[in-house]
Amino acid sequence: MTEDLIVTTEGRVGRIRLNRPKAIHALNLAMCEGVIDALEAWRADPAVEAILIDHADGRGFCAGGDIRMIAESGAGDGAAARHFFLTEYRMNHRLFTYAKPIVAFVDGITMGGGVGLSQPARFRVATENTRFAMPETGIGLFPDVGGGWYLSRLPGRLGVFLGLTGARLDGAETLELGLSTHYLPASALEGAKAEIAADPQAIDAILGAHAAVPPPARITGNREKIDRLFAAHSVEEIVAALEADGGDWALKELATIRAKSPQSLKVSLRIVEDGAHMHGFADEMVQEYAVVTRIVQRPDFAEGVRALIIDKDNQPRWDPPALDGVTDHMIDRIFAPLPADEAWTPA
């Protein structure tokens, strides 16, 4: 078991704690393998009635995945990156299909891989510290780990908006949109965890007893604009709608989108729109894996990681640099199914 993951049993629950504080608990391969191993060990254990997932010391729940490793691999043969995503997506699917109730305490930064780790949970607990986002278009990726499934099931065009812009939601907003099931003050979490460990059959009642009234969800004030301005089924038309509106909010979101990878914007829109029609979560994982294996070896991912994470100059030079350079043929090739012997499978 990796030291980056703390796996224990407490009372009648299994506990999985992310323990990589210097990286805001970003997931690496060993952590994903450790989660899978723990879930398998507890699957048929009658002494373990529920699973709790949270983070140990430090800020944030989980800031994503091991981006530097993935970028280095993608610049070469991509084998390590493919192995990471194969394993991470298997972890996502295992969580999604797990029979015993899972409670994820999403207290702090929750992005990318952290979304994939927490969204499959039956109970998702937000706090005043929660900062939820799928910001992948800023580094040449797309909202994966089931992002197409989860975002496409949000009301109206919220999923498209979040997937393209990478907008951050606070805890009250995640509760309003159903991305969280409960809103607790951070000070109440340890007490709630102890009570759940003692009585896992009463999870909902315990969380309800500790719940607080959240502040107003700010995103509700923008719902009309989001549904109207992000209604189109092409990124070019969404950009045109924002330009034509010309209001302060529209221009702010327009500037945000223009800073993102044009390729990633088009991939992300298709991922979200396709996700609404997937028959099951495994189908979502099959498509996302095909897409990610190609994306990590294309120029924008390495450039996005360089600009935002390594050099931190925030001046990525995207290739193609504009939306009109990202052809339908290019997107179709990225989305083409993998050969059967290379495709994602649950195990």
Q: Judge whether 144 counts as a catalytic residue.
A: yes
Q: Which residues of 105-143 are buried (b: 16+ CB within 10 A; e: fewer)?
A: bbbbbbbbbbbbbbbbbebbbbbbbbbbbbbbbbbbbbb
Q: Are 183 and 212 in contact (CB under 8 A)?
A: yes
> What count of other Cβ atoms lies within 10 Å of the Cβ of residue 155?
12
Task: Tell me the torsion sign for CA atoms 292, 297, 298, 303.
Answer: positive
DSSP 108: S
Q: Judge whether 190 counts as a catalytic residue.
A: no
The catalytic position among 14, 108, 113, 304 is 113
DSSP 65: B
Query: Smallest Cα–Cα separation from 91: which of 14, 182, 194, 16?
Result: 16
Q: How high is the pLDDT of residue 1?
A: 57
Residue 320, preceding peptide bond in cis (omega within 30° of 0): yes
The catalytic position among 136, 195, 274, 284 is 136
Q: How high is the pLDDT of residue 58?
A: 76
Query: Smallest Cα–Cα separation from 146: which of 40, 34, 272, 26?
Result: 272
Q: Judge whether 273 counts as a catalytic residue.
A: no
Strand order in the sheet with 169-170: 109-111, 131-133, 169-170
- Domains of the chain, each with CATH number or no CATH: 5-335 (3.90.226.10)
pLDDT digits (tens, 9 = 90+) for 173-192: 999 999 999 999 999 999 99
**Which residues in the chain come in under a pLDDT of 50?**
none
Q: Judge whether 113 counts as a catalytic residue.
A: yes
Q: How high is the pLDDT of residue 59?
A: 80
CA distance 296 to 71: 7
The catalytic position among 65, 108, 148, 275 is 65
DSSP 153: T
The catalytic position among 107, 144, 176, 300 is 144
pLDDT digits (tens, 9 = 90+) for 305-332: 999 999 999 999 999 999 999 999 999 9
Residues 6+ apart with CB under 8 A from 58: 21, 22, 24, 25
CA distance 211 to 193: 13
